[in-house]
Amino acid sequence: MVKKIPIGPFHPILEEPEFFELHVDGEKVVDIDITIGWSHRGIELLSESKTWDQVPFLVERVCGICSASHPYAYVLAVEDLLQVEVSKRAQYIRAIVAELERLHSHLLWTGLAGHFIGYNTVFMWCWKYREPVLDILEAVTGNRNHYATYRVGGVRRDVPQEEIPNIRKMLDELWKKNDMLTNAILDDPVIHARTKGVGVLGWDKCREYGALGPTARAGGYDVDARRDHQTDAYAELDWDVVLCQNGDVFDKAVVRQLENFEAIKIIRQCVDKLEAMGPGTEEDLVLEIGEIPPGEGLGVYEAPRGEVFHYVRSNGGNMPMRHKIRAPSFNNILTNEYSVLNYAVADAGLITAAVDPCYSCTERVGRVDTRTGERWVMSEGDLIKLSQEKTEMIRRSLRGK
Amino acid sequence: MSLALKALKKSPWVFHVNTGACNNCDIEILDALTPRFDVERFGIVLVGSIRHADVLLISGPVTRNVLPRLKRLYEQAPKPIKVIVVGACGCRCGIFRDGYNIIGPVDKYIPVDAYVPGCPPKPETIIAGVVKVLGTL
């Protein structure tokens, strides 16, 4: 007998609303319906009423956590249209802000994943370690979350030279803490039992669904827009694309943890180069951009969740004539359709969260008995509780051995 | 002061709704719960169900899809409930003001007790907002 469990559209602890309906047979998930579009704000159309220089402020509000990646992809698109290359200094500053964002986003995800499986300590620790990253972002860009750093032709402001020692110190401390977190994940038998072989999305399925970012790389699908498109400074820096093979929740966590190390490596190199350059002038930061000629441009950047794609078309006016945005979560959320099948309800929350979507939606869970039409309501807390109880059960059985 | 109000002031339980925000206000709200700010030491807890809530934190401009859900949430909330709007979008729609799918700020549809401006407001500001509302009780 198949029952339906609606999850959503609101979730008390996360981001945008989304709506999943799980069809369950006993404990096993046999189908899932996904409804998105709750926070549709019409950004593409709004963008056509803003000038070229105002659009970055709008697109960084597409998603609060990818608020460096969207403007980055947008300015790359306009620069592609103009066929210009920005100064080295601007490229390094762009990379620093984008990688700091990746650090805080991945730490945020690890924390939330810990919360989902009932390790609230991990949640608190990760978010504690995330704070210094936000402090540095505030010192460098002026705001903890919306950075307003990117601008067509360069960046808005320099990284102050006196901040560079602080950045290095923060990175050194974060490296140790991230190392500790990674080892904790790799060593803990309970985390292994909860996440290994759960929510598997292999290479072929990644390809079929067009999965992006860490979701795809965990399944061995080698895609990274920073390398594939030789984005700005990334071409000359020394860093690696992290790949795993199994595509389960465990690998998704490992990919994100290891990417944190890569991000730290990238920031260190950029900071070294900036220090060697010394303080810059206004001309070093941004190119003089006059009229935007008619034409079209593409911009691609690897956000923490995957590839962000922006397309702009100009008719020679002072506003984009068309601006198309594609965010990675759209592809990744749809992979849940495959990856939750045949796993237990207690795992469904974790699997859907593992793509780091804006899985955001479990304000209340109601169960519908399709045979009798009977409906009863569980709080969202019950879903997390179900997941946490499973962890507790595994922990006890492991202790018994 | 009624018993209900007294209990509310002692340990306000918070429920958080995103009516179409960009997540930033939401992660800053969560931030306020984690070790650096740690509002849990004052008894402020984020709860999973609207039926347990004393304070409703709303972020984001109201989109067309979300409006019926928002109204239902408000109806389901146990009264008295305090409503706090977090972020520029919730207060006055912010940068999304002219969007075709945006149908107005939160206070057009449900009564609001406090506004916390900022894009996004820092956790300190959010805490200050909650404390101010509690001070009026």
Kindly list the domain boundaries of chain A, sorted by start residue. 2-38+341-400, 43-326
pLDDT of residue A266: 95
| Cα separation, B137 vs B61, whole angstroms | 27
Contact of B100 with chain A, judged by CB distance below 8 Å, is answered with yes
Of A10, A14, A46, the CB nearest to B69: A10
- Fill in the DSSP letter of residue A160: P
pLDDT of residue A377: 42
pLDDT of residue B110: 93
Kindly list the residues from chain A whose CB atom is less than 8 angstroms away from the CB atom of residue B65.
Answer: 37-40
Kindly list the residues from chain A whose CB atom is less than 8 angstroms away from the CB atom of residue B66.
Answer: 9, 17, 38-39
Token pair of A73 as six digits: 């992809």
pLDDT of residue A101: 93
**Cα radius of gyration rounded to whole Å, chain B:** 14
Of A9, A62, A128, the CB nearest to B34: A128
- Can you list the residues of chain B whose pLDDT is less than 70? 1, 4, 7-8
pLDDT of residue A135: 93
Query: Å from A325 to nearest chain B CA?
Result: 15
Kindly list the residues from chain B whose CB atom is less than 8 angstroms away from the CB atom of residue A145.
Answer: 24, 27-28, 120
Task: Look at strands A364-369 and B13-18 and give their pairing.
Answer: unpaired
One-letter identity of residue B68: P
pLDDT in tens, chain A (401 residues): 777 777 766 654 455 666 777 788 877 878 777 776 777 888 888 899 999 999 999 988 888 888 899 999 999 999 999 999 999 999 999 999 999 999 999 999 898 888 888 888 888 999 999 999 999 999 999 888 888 899 999 999 899 899 999 999 999 999 999 999 999 888 888 888 888 888 888 899 899 988 889 999 999 999 999 999 888 889 999 999 999 998 888 999 999 999 999 999 999 999 999 999 988 888 888 888 888 999 999 999 999 988 889 999 999 999 999 998 888 887 887 888 788 888 887 787 778 777 766 532 222 233 334 444 444 444 456 666 777 777 777 777 777 75
| Cα separation, A154 vs A76, whole angstroms | 10
Buried b (16+ CB within 10 A) or exposed e, A166-183: ebeebbeebeebbeebbe
Rounded to 5, what percent of chain A is helix, strand, coil? 50, 15, 35
Q: Which of residues 16-55 of B touch A (CB under 8 A)?
A: 16-28, 30-31, 34-36, 46-52
Query: Å from B36 to nearest chain A CA?
Result: 6
Of B17, B24, B101, the CB nearest to A67: B24
Helices (H), B1-137: 3-10, 24-31, 67-76, 88-92, 123-135
Q: Under 8 Å CB-to-CB from A209, ≥6 apart: which residues?
A: A201, A331, A334, A335, A337, A338
Domain ranges within chain B, ordered by starting residue: 3-135
> Which one of A61, A121, A122, A325 makes the best mutation probe of the B interface by having the most chain B beta carbons within 10 Å?
A61
Residue of A nearest to B36 (CA): A128
pLDDT of residue A15: 56
pLDDT of residue A374: 45
| Cα separation, A313 vs A298, whole angstroms | 9
Beta bridge partners of A28: A25, A344
Q: Of the candidates A173, A109, A94, A88, which has an alpha carbon nearest to the alpha carbon of residue A135?
A: A173
Which DSSP helix (H) or strand (E) runs through A56? helix A55-59
pLDDT of residue A378: 46
Kindly list the residues from chain B whose CB atom is less than 8 angstroms away from the CB atom of residue A144.
Answer: 28, 120, 122
Query: Å from B11 to nearest chain A CA?
Result: 18
pLDDT of residue A188: 87
Kindly list the residues from chain B whose CB atom is less than 8 angstroms away from the CB atom of residue A384.
Answer: 48
Helices (H), A83-147: 88-116, 120-141
Distances (CA, A) of A266 to A94, A235, A308: 11, 11, 20
* Structural domain B3-135, CATH architecture: 3-Layer(aba) Sandwich (3.40)
Residue of A nearest to B31 (CA): A127
Q: Of the candidates B97, B108, B96, B38, which has an alpha carbon nearest to the alpha carbon of residue B70?
A: B108
- Fill in the DSSP letter of residue A303: E
Chains A & B: contacts with CB separation below 8 Å = 139
Kindly list the residues from chain A whose CB atom is less than 8 angstroms away from the CB atom of residue B19.
Answer: 39
> Which one of A120, A358, A363 makes the best mutation probe of the B interface by having the most chain B beta carbons within 10 Å?
A363
One-letter identity of residue A358: C
Tens digits of residue pLDDT in A268-296: 999 999 999 988 888 888 888 888 999 99
Query: Å from A40 to nearest chain B CA?
Result: 7
CATH number of A43-326: 1.10.645.10
Contact of A304 with chain B, judged by CB distance below 8 Å, is answered with no
